[in-house]
Amino acid sequence: MLLSTISIALWTTCLWAASSASPASTPTTSAATPAFTYNANSFLLHGAPYIIIGGQMDPQRVPPEYWPDRLAKVRAMGLNTIFSYVYWNLMEPQLGTWAGGSGSGSNDIARFMMLAQEAGLHVVLRPGPYICGEREWGGFPAWLSQVTDLKTVRSHDPSFLEKATSYLTRLAADLKDTQVTKGGPLLMVQVENEYGSYGKDHVYTSALRDVLRANYDIPLYTNDGGVDWTLAGGSVPGVLAVVDGDPRGGFNARRLYIKDASMLGPLLDGEYYTLAPDFWGTTQPHNVPNTQQTAAFARDLEYVLRANNSISLYMVHGGTNFGWGNGALWRNNNVSAPFTTSYDYGAPIDESGRTTTLYTQLRKTILGLLPEKERAAVPTPPPNVPHMALPAVTLTPYASLFDTTPTNSSSIASPLTMEALGQAYGLILYEHIYNGTSPLQGVLLPGDRPRDRVLVYVNSRRVGVIDSTYERPATVTVTLKAGDRLQLLVENLGRVDYYSQEATTANMLLDPYKGVRGEVTVGGTTLHGWTSKSHPLEVPPTSEPLKNTTVGNLGPTFYRGTFSVDTPPSTETAYLDTFLSVPAGTKGAVWVNGFHLGRYWVVGPQQSLYLPGTILKVGVNQTNEVVVLELEPENVVAKKIPFTVVGLADRVWANHPDPDAPLRL
């Protein structure tokens, strides 16, 4: 439908046909009135009918200092419930290491929930273990790929189930007290995520159901596309079956295909799409709703709410894939389509937390549908404060990636993947000194396929780019003579979080490997003897003196600059929010005060990175440091303009040609 850029069967719409839901058993056995439950047609909160008017916002995509602001805006839109995914890879960055809980910033999910309650909202939790969500590997931690005996994710594979159970149980320990049964805001928990569009391993989903039941005393639900096969694969006995996408088709499919009374209950559209995520690419526009789409959203809201059914807007506020957090879609033509750092989504509340025209219009629709008493309780939206403009900050080169100390350096006969080297994200450099007696010339193949974007250098001079986002990546021919240094710098553009099951024979969730997998060959000759250097770059390198001051001969280069910002007009740091742009840049990453804002790429549509004021040091005498890693500094040199970053008060989305685009012959 609206997601014309993504062709996925589960978003297909079906025709409406009326039929009534069958009675369902209530999932709670308590004799007293349960805090939250449901009957055949209604959710019941403390015994009274409750229509969920929800919206999705994931706390881990929003600076925690801004959670109260965003939640206040969600409530002021007329919504009463927040739906949230939790990203396993951020909660358990290493096997057995828990990065959540009290005081953990954006991983403090319990705090997010209590703030939601203070804002007058309830919460629906979507903990995964797999969440899709346009996130790195659908939220899976990269270390899962290295667990001995783990063969299949999203299945009852004992090794996978053990790790998933441990994660869900640990998360529940943080969140148990937020349940509505304990006076908190948490109403329901989702089992897996759109599982039916992936598989039909009911042993697996039943096991997850049982883990959640052992940890929570509130209802569970599944969420699947509104077609027969997704509902068949994804629904779980004893768990409320919820649909997503177009509500007419979805509700009808629920009526047609779910016959097990233990899965029946009120109708909820668990993901109503407003609007869609952005992909990198010269022909990929930024998604922003037009007037027809906005009118359609309003009609669908009326359709759902007038019938006393429930809905959740996906997303009400998208936020940002900070750092290396984005995932990728595996397209039918075997192309990896990475999502942008921005997860603006064209949503009612934009990436920077400002309300949009869509917000105003849907708020009007929702308020018009609320009973008078509830309408009167909806607060006035807080005003949008302006973004800051930041004058150009001149950047100076300070380190070459080639000379930066890696987190792991290994001498290996054949390349090992990023994961085998204990690295999850970022860049990895493979170096080979050619020692053949006669020169070698031919086409370079970086293992079985590019994973994902391979910059190829001979003696530190870039000779080509092999880019997996193209259906036919460039062919790179290299010539090596004895003593030449061949370097492959490989960027993980984001592991696949979703692929169309029908169109691809390979299960791409089982192939998350980055770096080089397999042998590197030149003209069919295998090269042995490599040094791998891991650069996860969670934080940029500290000063490492430039060995060769001729920028452009250095390979990927770190630049830095400093700036100060004046005290904002109030204590609200949102006045310092800006959109950081690298006007002369081709591709790279940006850090401010050590915080990784994400990736930039000239191809667009994203041309600037959201810089939240929360990470800035305020005051004219305070120094803020910006670091830019430019992967192609030779392009900067060729442009003969200063290398700067600029903060934009008004964001611009645009697409530009890719200087590394493969030649069309």
Ligand X SMILES: *[C@@H]1O[C@H](CO)[C@@H](O)[C@H](O)[C@H]1NC(C)=O
- The residues that touch ligand X, with contacts defined as CB under 6 A, are 49, 307-308, 333-334, 408, 410, 412, 421-422, 435, 505-506, 528-529, 548, 550, 553, 619-621
For residue 323, give the 3-state DSSP assignment.
coil
Nearer Cβ to ligand X (288/520): 520
Note whether 317 and 55 are within 8 A (CB): yes
Least separation in angstroms between residue 548's CB and ligand X is 4
Helices (H), 216-290: 228-234, 247-257
Spatial contact of 269 and 304, defined as CB atoms under 8 Å apart: yes
**Strand, coil or helix: what is 644?**
strand
3-state DSSP assignment of residue 252: helix
Rounded to a whole number of angstroms, the minimum distance from the CB of residue 407 to ligand X is: 7
Integer distance in angstroms from the first to the last C-alpha of the chain? 35
Least distance to ligand X, CB of residue 654, Å: 30
What is the sign of the dihedral through the CA atoms of 369, 298, 197 and 226? Answer: positive
| In the complex, minimum distance from the CB of residue 70 to ligand X, in angstroms, rounded to a whole number | 30
288 and 329 Cβ atoms separated by less than 8 Å = no
Which residue's structure tokens are 């791409």? 508
CB of 374 to ligand X, least distance (A): 11
| Three-state SS at 537 | coil
DSSP at 82? E
d(CA 9, CA 312): 20
The secondary structure of residue 195, as a DSSP letter, is G
Nearer to ligand X, 75 or 462 (CB): 462
Structural tokens at position 342: 């921005």
Residue 485 near residue 558 (C-beta atoms within 8 A): no
> Closer CB to ligand X, residue 25 or residue 334?
334
Catalytic residues: 194, 271
Helix (H, G, I), strand (E, B) or coil at 563: strand
CB 241, CB 194: distance < 8 Å: no
**Do 343 and 598 contact (CB within 8 A), yes or no?**
no
* Neighbouring residues of 48: CB distance < 8 A, sequence distance ≥ 6: none
Instruction: Answer for the pair 57, 84: CB distance below 8 angstroms, yes or no.
Output: yes
CB atoms within 10 A of CB 552: 17
Query: What are the Cα distances from residue 92, in Å, to 98, 129, 164, 197, 539?
Result: 5, 11, 11, 26, 19
Give me the least distance between CB of 423 and ligand X, in Å please. Answer: 7
- DSSP state string for 504-557: -SS-GGG----B--S-EEETTEEP--EEEEEE--SS-------S---TTSSSSE
For the CB of residue 638, give the shortest distance to ligand X in the complex, in Å: 15
3-state secondary structure of 474: coil
CB 294 → ligand X: shortest distance, Å?
25
Give the shortest CB-576-to-ligand X separation in angstroms.
16
For ligand X, the nearest residue by Cβ is 422
> Angle 344-425-495 (CA atoms, 0-180°, nearest 5)?
60
Residue whose CB is less far from ligand X, 532 or 607: 532
Give the nearer residue to ligand X in terms of CB position, either 433 or 615: 433
Amino acid at residue number 507: N
Which is closer to ligand X, CB of 24 or CB of 428? 428
